[in-house]
């Protein structure tokens, strides 16, 4: 059995930088990835394959989660094969970074010290981070160059300090509707924030520049422009000759002594059991699955799970709070050519209320409704009275919708308040097809999530109204977005209250690191991906100093 220097479980944003840096340093690295290996030639805009059937996530009848929701004051558990609510986000080399939209926002200095700035929230477990923005900033900059971030820096009152004046790549082309957005913001005295994207506007090595297909979110990128871990980091890591990738390898348990992890046990696609030894282990399987793996790895030395002497493993899960809204635009706002220009990005956001005097605010990103034609047509199958449409009536409604209007959406991102009723656990009663206990996710949403979401929605709706939008609608929900996961392995300086130290190293097992979003004690009011990438580069630098 071959021994490796470093074994990484997972291959997404938390894994790629570790492989990239350590293979360049001459270490023999192996990645155990649950999914298969695909590349650009395998990726299409097939809505049936990638959205309707989810070919790159497990069948929920075989591999599921259980979700606990508060129903009339009673925590009630639902297996996801009953509800269809999937918390799988891309079992594929590069993980969910293949499927992201690539909206990249840095955290800001005060995000690292929310407790100091705002104090305690009743019912929430807010703590300051053990590191500062200044410690992470050089690695945000590294992500801009290595992963590739395109944009134009917006100057506004909450702008975070930058060591580089500009982003590594020029801004992507934007849709004509941005002119309406910018004018509306100017009229309202709001700042039109130009959103950076992890999509390269110029070709880089084996990656081609964006060709504006209009299929980013939920789809892998067929040009390599999107900054997935696979395209931006793992391809280069393979070229060193020091990286081995074992695809279709589901790691179900880690073995350990009292002080060190010794082996990873995994199932192959055919269901065969295998094991692998390494000197150092990095878990980066996305937050829910990382907590599940460590909880299922309990042994005589660690009866509550690996890295769980604090009893905090799986606790304080965070997602993103907020909601969505929309407004319709037609030929009264834009010319036909402008309205139906396809592919170009909106790349606009509101961040004037990222911080307020009274509470932590958030971000509102604007984007056109997804291009998926099947989903869009399916949403039109009822008339205004709720009657199912058939034949010509349905055909006429679809034709009118597709040829006379477009919907501009907004997505709200607020800090998900960590709390005692948002956690991951395992239960021997619920097992997947391998006989491994599945992750149970209790989703307790703090009331502050909805309050901030409502506040930001009112600002976004003002912009849409000023732009001339019709049929403006909003939905603020306490339920989370399943694709934005963090927490569960909180890092901190005190081993009694945290799972990891400031370098994302287990307090209990010194050769165990966790580098996906699990380390985050608070999530910021933005998608987590850029911060996960940056932190993983930071941890890689630390590993090089000790190993």
Residue 1 is predicted with a pLDDT of: 60
The mean pLDDT of the chain is 96
Could you report the per-residue pLDDT of 433-458, keeping only the tens digit for each?
Answer: 999 999 999 999 999 999 999 999 99
Instruction: Examine the pLDDT at 54 and tell me if it is beyond 80.
Output: no
- Could you say which DSSP state residue 224 is in? S
pTM to 2 decimal places: 0.97
Instruction: Examine the pLDDT at 195 and tell me if it is beyond 70.
Output: yes
**Of the given ranges (7-21, 329-343, 451-465), which has the lowest mean pLDDT?**
329-343
CA atoms within 13 A on the CB side of 256: 27
> Which spans in 239-296 are helix H?
287-296
Could you report the per-residue pLDDT of 130-182, keeping only the tens digit for each?
Answer: 999 999 999 999 999 999 999 999 999 999 999 999 999 999 999 999 999 99
**520 close to 531: Cβ distance less than 8 angstroms:** yes
Instruction: Examine the pLDDT at 290 and tell me if it is beyond 80.
Output: yes
**484 close to 288: Cβ distance less than 8 angstroms:** no
- What are φ and ψ of residue 479, in 5° steps? -80, 150
Instruction: Examine the pLDDT at 53 and tell me if it is beyond 80.
Output: no
For range 423-429, the mean pLDDT: 96
Q: What region does 474 belong to: left with phi over 0, alpha with psi -120 to 50, or beta?
A: beta
Residue 283 is predicted with a pLDDT of: 98
Give residue 481's pLDDT band: very low, low, confident or very high (50, 70, 90). confident
Could you report the per-residue pLDDT of 82-118, keeping only the tens digit for each?
Answer: 999 999 998 999 999 999 999 999 999 999 999 999 9
**What structural domains and CATH numbers belong to the chain?**
3-45+53-546 (3.50.50.60)
Task: Give the separation between CA 331 and CA 329, rounded to whole angstroms.
Answer: 7
Give residue 327's pLDDT band: very low, low, confident or very high (50, 70, 90). very high
Residue 126 is predicted with a pLDDT of: 97
Instruction: Examine the pLDDT at 333 and tell me if it is beyond 90.
Output: no
**Of the given ranges (444-448, 462-466, 477-481), which has the lowest mean pLDDT?**
477-481
Could you report the per-residue pLDDT of 242-289, keeping only the tens digit for each?
Answer: 999 999 999 999 999 999 999 999 999 999 999 999 999 999 999 999
* Top-confidence residue, 386 or 229: 229
Instruction: Examine the pLDDT at 547 and tell me if it is beyond 90.
Output: no
Could you report the per-residue pLDDT of 345-363, keeping only the tens digit for each?
Answer: 999 999 999 999 999 999 9
List 276's β-bridge partners, or say none.
Answer: 264
Torsion of CA 336, 338, 341, 347, to 10 degrees: -150
Residue 274 is predicted with a pLDDT of: 97
What length is written for the chain?
547
């Amino acid at each position: 059995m071959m021994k490796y220097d470093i074994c990484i479980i997972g291959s997404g944003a938390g894994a790629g930088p570790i492989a990239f840096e350590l293979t360049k340093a001459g270490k023999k690295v192996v990645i155990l990835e649950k999914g298969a290996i695909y590349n650009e030639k395998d990726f299409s805009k097939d809505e049936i394959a990638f959205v309707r059937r989810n070919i790159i996530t497990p069948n929920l009848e075989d591999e599921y989660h259980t979700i606990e929701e508060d129903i009339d004051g009673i925590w009630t558990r639902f297996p996801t094969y009953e509800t269809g609510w999937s918390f799988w986000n891309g079992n594929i080399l590069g993980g969910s970074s293949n499927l992201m939209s690539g909206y990249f926002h840095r955290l800001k200095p005060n995000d690292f010290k929310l407790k100091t700035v705002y104090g305690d929230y009743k019912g929430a477990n807010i703590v300051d981070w053990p590191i500062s923005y200044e410690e992470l900033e050089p690695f945000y900059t590294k992500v801009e160059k290595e992963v590739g971030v395109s944009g134009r820096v917006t100057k506004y009152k909450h702008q975070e300090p930058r060591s580089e004046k500009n982003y590594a790549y020029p801004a992507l082309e934007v849709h004509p509707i941005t002119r309406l957005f910018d004018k509306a913001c100017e009229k309202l005295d709001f700042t039109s924030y130009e959103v950076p994207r992890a999509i390269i506007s110029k070709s880089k090595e084996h990656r081609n520049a964006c060709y504006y297909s209009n299929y980013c979110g939920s789809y892998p990128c067929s040009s390599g422009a999107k900054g997935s871990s696979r395209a931006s980091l793992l391809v280069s890591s393979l070229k060193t000759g020091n990286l081995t990738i074992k695809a279709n390898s589901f790691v179900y348990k880690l073995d350990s002594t009292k002080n060190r992890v010794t082996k990873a046990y995994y199932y192959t696609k055919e269901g065969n059991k295998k094991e692998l030894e390494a000197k150092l282990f990095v878990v980066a399987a996305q937050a829910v699955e990382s907590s599940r793996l460590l909880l299922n790895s309990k042994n005589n030395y660690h009866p509550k799970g690996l890295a769980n002497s604090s009893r905090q493993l799986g606790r304080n899960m965070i997602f993103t709070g907020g909601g969505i809204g929309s407004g319709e635009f037609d030929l009264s706002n834009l010319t036909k050519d402008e309205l139906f220009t396809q592919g170009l990005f909106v790349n606009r956001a509101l961040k004037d209320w990222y911080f307020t005097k009274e509470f932590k605010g958030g971000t509102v990103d604007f984007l056109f409704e997804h291009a998926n034609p099947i989903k869009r047509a399916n949403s039109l199958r009822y008339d205004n009275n709720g009657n199912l449409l058939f034949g010509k009536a349905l055909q006429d409604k679809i034709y009118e919708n597709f040829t006379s209007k477009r919907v501009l959406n907004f997505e709200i991102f607020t800090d998900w308040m960590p709390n005692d009723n948002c956690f991951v656990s395992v239960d021997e009663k619920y097992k997947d097809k391998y006989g491994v206990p599945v992750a149970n996710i209790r989703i307790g949403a703090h009331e502050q999530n909805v309050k901030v979401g409502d506040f930001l929605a009112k600002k976004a709706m003002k912009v849409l109204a000023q732009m001339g939008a019709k049929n403006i609608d909003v939905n603020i929900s306490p339920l989370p977005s399943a694709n934005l996961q963090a927490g569960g392995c909180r890092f901190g300086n005190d081993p009694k209250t945290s799972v990891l130290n400031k370098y994302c190293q287990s307090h209990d097992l010194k050769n165990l690191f966790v580098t996906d979003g699990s380390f985050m004690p608070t999530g910021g009011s933005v998608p987590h991906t850029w911060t996960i990438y940056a932190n993983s580069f930071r941890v890689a630098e630390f590993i090089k100093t000790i190993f």
